[in-house]
Amino acid sequence: MNRPFAFVTTAIFLLASSLTGWASDIDNCCFIDRQCQTDQQWTDGYWAFQNNQCPAPAPSQPLASAPKGGGPAQIDNCCFVDRQCNSDQEWTDGYWAFRNNQCSAPGPAPAAAASPAASEVLLRTANAVVIGDPIGHSIMPSISKTFDWPEGGVITYNNCCQGNWQCKSEQDWAEGYHAYQNKQCALPGRVISIVGDDEYVVFYTRRLEELERKLPHRYDYVLRGLDKIEQDTCQPNCSFGVNVDIATFLTYWWPPYENGWEMRESAVLVHEACHVHRARAVGFQRAPGCDPNLFWSEETICREMELAVVIELGAPSHVIEATRSMVAATRARNTGEVPCQEW
């Protein structure tokens, strides 16, 4: 059963390789001898590390992961302290209660909400995290599944609150409806949510952290482009692509990703953000129907950016060459049929 969906799709390039793991080596002085709050400071810290200008050896850094087995790696929510939370709204309320020191039982001192550290997990629930800078946001990214495929395989929605917005009131829903009609669902600034199984959430959190450590400008590009990364549970088929209207990247989860292929997945985030940025630049104008020239031109541009990021990350040669081959095939327009999917 096919599942129609409103996506700028990426032709799936499957490689017979094991793809888990991620590079755990620290490569930035910001983890060693300095506090870094801006992209420029992270960039300076990276190059200082490359030039052996940190005064101390790099320590190993643990990941602040999503809760697994009922226990959080880092407590930042009253749901872990004094209450049972069963819905996204209860988890959201518990998070803000913790930030305002309103848990009835004592917990660790909350971090200052006004100036979160780079890559700080701002909100953690049972199956999602929100990462980035929430300052100035009246609506946060959704932490619920958007693509919960119904019987028949067709998803219909007419409100940003059904996609990438986390809506809490009737006013939010009213604004979400009008925003969707005008193709204005994009959230401002640099905030992104990751929604899926614990392992999926941790993996893509790692991917964002890798971009932030090594390529801060690419990290910023992703956070300004994508509002949401969501796991497709592949029932019955798997989907892969980005919905530019709601800035949501839907992707399957088939680990392991290792031997450098995890770096490729970091680059894929930049690729998918590329589609969103380009759609916004032209006011979401699209040619009617299925235009092969438009499709291949778009894919070539964003896949070339993906290749550049793979190289910039220092991926192993086999990963770089496989990505280079994919780009060459895309230029030659022989990576498969053009997906004809209507909006």
Q: What is the pLDDT of residue 118?
A: 44
**3-state DSSP call for residue 261?**
helix
Give residue 44's pLDDT band: very low, low, confident or very high (50, 70, 90): confident
Placement of tokens 């498969």 in the chain: 336
- Whether the model pTM is above 0.85: no
60/88 Cα distance (integer angstroms): 33
Tens-place pLDDT, residues 266-291: 999 999 999 999 888 876 555 445 67
Q: Which amino acid is at 96?
A: W
306 contact partners, CB below 8 Å, separation of at least 6: 264, 267, 268, 270, 271, 274, 323, 327
Q: At what angle do helices 317-331 and 261-281 cross, to 10 degrees?
A: 40
- Report domain extents, the chain: 8-24+61-76+111-331
Question: Which ranges constitute the DSSP H helices of 130-260?
Answer: 170-181, 198-214, 216-225
Residue 71: DSSP 8-state: B
C-alpha 9, offset from chain centre: 16
Within 10 angstroms of residue 343's Cβ, the number of other Cβ atoms is 12
Of the given ranges (74-78, 130-134, 151-155), which has the lowest mean pLDDT? 151-155
